[in-house]
Amino acid sequence: MGKSILMTVLITGNVIWGGTVVYAEEGLQQFNLDQMVVTATRTMKELQEVPSSVSVVTSQDIEERNINSVPEALQTLPGVYMNQAAQGGIQIRGFSSSDILVLLDGLPMNTTYNNGMEWEMVPVEKIARIEVVRGAGSSLYGGRAVGAVVNIITKDNPEKKGASVNAVVSYGSNNTWKKALYADARVNKKLSFGVGYENRKSDGYRGYYYTGSASKGSGGIKPDHELPQLSNGKYVLGGRGEKVWENENISANVKYDFDEDRSLKYTFIHTESEYRYQNPWTTIYKDGKPVFSGSVDVGNGQIVKPSLGTYLGYDGRKESDLHTLSYNDNKNKFSANFGYLDMKSNGYSSSSSPKSIDWNGAGTDSFYPGETYNFDVQKAWDNVGKHSILVGGSFKQESFDQLRKYLSNWRDHDSVISGLGDNGVYENHGGKARNIALFVQDEYQISDPMTMYLGVRYDHFTKMDGKSRYYDKNTGALTRSLDYDEVSYSEFSPKIAFDYKADEKTNYYVSYGHSFNPPPLYQVYRDGGGSMGGVVANPDLDPETSNTFEIGMKKKLSRQTNLGISLYQVKTDDKILYTTHYQPGTTTAEYKKYENYGTEKRRGVEFTVDHKFNDNWGTYFNYAWQQGKVKQNAVAGTNLKDADSADYGIPKHLLHAGVNYNKDKFNAILDCQYVSARQAPDDVTGEYGAEDAYFIVNTAFNYEIAKGTILQFGINNLFDKEFYASEATSGRTYNVGLRYSF
């Protein structure tokens, strides 16, 4: 009865979550204090002894939850919010992916163009584990490691001679498919290899709505019915229809083991992904026929003017090649890693002057391919007296080259009109940044219970080769040319942390860390023509800098129960704001520019507990309270005014919880999530554009129907909750899958 009461409280009383988390036989995966992790200190440490807030997602979690993306895999973790709109991104402690450093096997993956992460580049069935280290990480990893470091570690090849094959196929609502096939083999004691293919796609659902404001006017058509109207006065005019997407990964690796300690591994991942909208729809009908353009009379002497192109949306395409080469010497604690990421294409196309809703005519293409070279090396020495020393360095060069082109068919990215502009190009922007860094960390055993971690990293950035070019549409002549001077800056990122082992079951920690986020290259080098009120490039843009203070506790209450709590505060200076400069004496825009104005303070509390009742039943619960406050001063001649207000993009309350049942060949999971509203108090909820609070419940069932063959079934948003995350979100969805391995 006590067990039933506790389950009832977790499921119905606690506002819990929905992403489905599975626990391995040895314990819970998210917060198992006996787990070994490497990301927090760049050395192998037991999670309980790491002076940071760390969570782990394992391959078993991903398999049993039938995960389609890394954000889905992370969304159950403390302090993590995943946008529930189509292909939504994540926040960690309120920071978006541009302030989160994402590593794949230790190498940075954030894109050169906007510092963000293209999650499609990661084949999810290839993941062995994901380690999430919250807080400042720049002392070891450099730029972008502000809110967290997310290290995605891929599966290794078999240790014993032989081969293995793993296949996955699943189908769900909205014609959502996942198909994956991986084969790995060990030829002999030294040589092993693996190949894989993964495809994930969906027809999507209606998420993006088209809204418009009315203005004074007359003479428009009178629709058959009144148009739906939002509380802000805008009218809902329709939408782009379903967002269709497809991601495809092809991977291969070969590993050579010189001996049991030394190895060399090469990995290749090719990714192609695309998205588009289909079946545009309208709320405007005249004599029973849909209306997508023109003037529409909404009464009271006002009209709205829907634009046909807005219903059509965009056609996006991405293609990348990732090469990594890693050498590891475990005996001498030495490693060297090289990575090359070639973002061959990344961008979208859109229509120009469409004539009908099924328009496949002319348009423009905006693509911003980029390249990243990264070399990283480190060496560790253990037991140097009471010290363990880590020394390393890195070299990184990244660039982007944005091309904007004329297309004869906007849905065909290869239909470039070579007779217009400069061989089809009407704008070209580009730039490069180079970074050289050195870092050192000292793990000092002050006494039996007390360990100090002291580290610092020096980064030297050089921004160079910046350019902007404009070409005449008809003649192709160069009409405007800008080149930017080389600019350099340096950043020191210190960190100090103390871990106090009160007893065998209890650890306390306190830490301070400085971190920074270099400005994305598009803010530095992309120029939109300042004389027309456009964006002006800013090569002098400085990085945002942050200082993070954190205290925490990790405790084993028993063999079955782990508890953790952390409190943190982050102050970010030199925040980059999109600033409008007015023409003298007016409020008419003269130009726009990304500039360093403003400060933000964030603070929060994270609490997590997991418990195994017995061999069959387990549960977890985590809660985060977080808050951000933005402050800026008025700047004369700009749109910036004095402000001291909450950051309403950050959910104040995040609560995740789940219950898991394992018995013989059967496994069942129930997960729940509560997220508070992310909007100003006077904003209206329950309508398009709102950032609603929500509570959703997910379930998953797994049954081994034969050896190596598992049948899966899941329901997301079990109670079919309707809510908005700016865009509309999906209702109840189903999926069924089959996993086979031998």
Q: CA–CA separation, 735 vs 733, rounded Å?
A: 7
Give the strand order in the sheet containing 100-104.
54-58, 127-134, 148-154, 100-104, 107-108
Check if the beta carbon of residue 607 is closer than 8 Å to that of residue 564: yes
Q: Tell me the CA distances in angstroms from 323 to 107, 154, 180, 464, one per residue in order.
A: 11, 14, 21, 25
For the stretch 548-599, pLDDT in tens is: 999 999 999 998 999 999 999 999 999 999 999 999 888 888 899 999 998 9
Per residue in 370-394, pLDDT (tens digit) is 999 999 999 999 989 999 999 999 9
- Which pLDDT does position 379 carry in this prediction? 97
- Position 28 pLDDT exceeds 60: no
In a domain? residue 450: yes
Q: φ, ψ for residue 220 (rounded to 5)?
A: -80, 165
Residues spanned by the domain of 93:
2-206+241-279+313-741
Q: Give the H or E element holding residue 344.
A: strand 334-351
Among 63, 255, 257, smallest CA distance to 156 is for 255
Comparing 588 with 408, the larger pLDDT belongs to 408
Terminal-residue alpha carbon distance, the chain: 41
Band of pLDDT at residue 490, cut at 50, 70 and 90: very high
Is residue 28 a contact partner of residue 620, using CB atoms and an 8 Å limit?
A: yes
250, pLDDT greater than 50: yes
| Mean pLDDT for all residues in the chain | 92
Is 297 domain-assigned?
A: no
Q: Is the pLDDT of residue 29 over 90?
A: no
What single-letter DSSP state applies at residue 221?
A: B
> Tell me: the pLDDT tens digits for 153-212?
999 988 889 999 999 999 999 999 999 999 999 999 999 999 999 999 999 999 999 999
Residue 289 located in a structural domain: no
Q: What share of the chain is helix, strand, coil (3-state, %, to 5)?
A: 10, 55, 35
Q: What is the mean pLDDT of residues 30-55?
A: 90
* Pair of tokens at residue 307: 């634009």
CA dihedral 657, 663, 664, 667 (to 10 degrees): -30
Quote the CA–CA distance of 453 and 319 in Å, as a whole number: 41
**Placement of tokens 């797994």 in the chain:** 702
Owner of token pair 């005519």: 361
Q: Which pLDDT belongs to residue 13? A: 32
> What mean pLDDT do residues 638-648 have?
92
CATH number, domain of 701, equals 2.40.170.20
3-class DSSP state of 349: strand
Q: Which amino acid is at 717?
A: N
pLDDT digits (tens, 9 = 90+) for 284-297: 999 999 999 999 99
209 membership: H or E segment, kind and range? strand 209-212
Provide, rounded to the nearest whole percent, the portion of the chain with pLDDT above 90: 86
Nearest to 133 by CA among 619, 623, 566: 566
Mean pLDDT confidence for 104-109: 92
DSSP, residue by residue, 665-731: TEEEEEEEEEE---S-TTSPPSSTT-B--EEEEEEEEEEEEETTEEEEEEEESTT----EESEE---
DSSP tag of 460: E
Domain for residue 723, yes or no? yes
Phi/psi of residue 522, nearest 5 degrees: -70, -30
Q: In what order do the strands lie in the sheet with 296-299?
A: 215-216, 302-304, 296-299
Which residue type does 476 have?
A: G
Which pLDDT does position 7 carry in this prediction? 36
Whether 16 has a pLDDT exceeding 80, the answer reads no
Q: What is the DSSP letter of 361?
A: -
Token pair in block for residue 509:
């920690």
Q: For residue 22, what pLDDT is reported?
A: 30
> Is residue 308, in this structure, part of any structural domain at all?
no
Q: Where are the beta strands (DSSP E) in 33-119?
A: 36-37, 45-46, 54-58, 80-82, 90-92, 100-104, 107-108
Going by C-alpha positions, the residue among 186, 189, 182, 187 that lies closest to residue 154 is 182
| In a domain? residue 302 | no
CA–CA distance, 7 with 492 (Å, rounded to integer): 49
In a domain, 355, yes or no: yes
The model's pLDDT over 677-712, given as tens digits with 9 standing for 90+, comes to 998 888 899 999 999 999 999 999 999 999 999 999
Question: What is d(CA 109, CA 322) in angstroms, rounded to the nearest whole number?
Answer: 9
Taking the C-alpha atoms of residue 74 and residue 78, their distance in angstroms, rounded to an integer, is 9
The yes-or-no verdict on residue 618 having pLDDT over 80 is: yes
Distance CA 605, CA 624 (A): 6
Summarize the confidence of residues 447-462 as an average pLDDT.
Answer: 96
Among 19-33, 280-294, 307-321, 471-485, the minimum mean pLDDT is found in 19-33
Say what the pLDDT of residue 530 is. 58
pLDDT value, residue 2? 38
Predicted pLDDT of residue 34: 82
How far from the centroid of its chain's Cα atoms is residue 201's Cα?
18
At a CB cut-off of 8 Å and minimum separation 6, what does 358 contact?
Answer: none
- Predicted pLDDT at 30: 60
| pLDDT tens per residue, range 59-94 | 999 999 888 899 999 999 999 999 998 888 899 999
What is the DSSP-derived secondary structure letter of residue 40? T
At 428-448, the pLDDT tens digits run 999 999 999 999 999 999 999
pLDDT of 235 > 50? The answer is yes
Q: What does the pLDDT read at residue 33?
A: 79
Distance between CA 32 and CA 614 in Å, rounded?
A: 16
The verdict on residue 218 lying in a domain is no
Integer CA distances (angstroms), 277 to 118, 202, 427, 723, in order: 19, 11, 26, 21
Q: Which amino acid is at 29?
A: Q
Number of folded domains that form the chain:
1
Q: Count Cβ atoms within 10 A of the Cβ of residue 472 and give its class: 0-12 exposed, 13-18 middle, 19 or more buried.
A: middle
Neighbours of 297 (CB within 10 A): 17
Query: What pLDDT shows up at residue 405?
Result: 96
pLDDT mean over 33-59: 93
**Mean pLDDT computed over 470-474:** 95
Q: Under a CB-based contact definition with an 8 Å cutoff, are residues 75 and 586 in contact?
A: no
pLDDT higher than 60, residue 600:
yes
Strand partners, 329: 262, 334
Q: What is the pLDDT of residue 3?
A: 37
SS3 (DSSP) at 417: coil
Q: For residue 24, what pLDDT is reported? A: 34
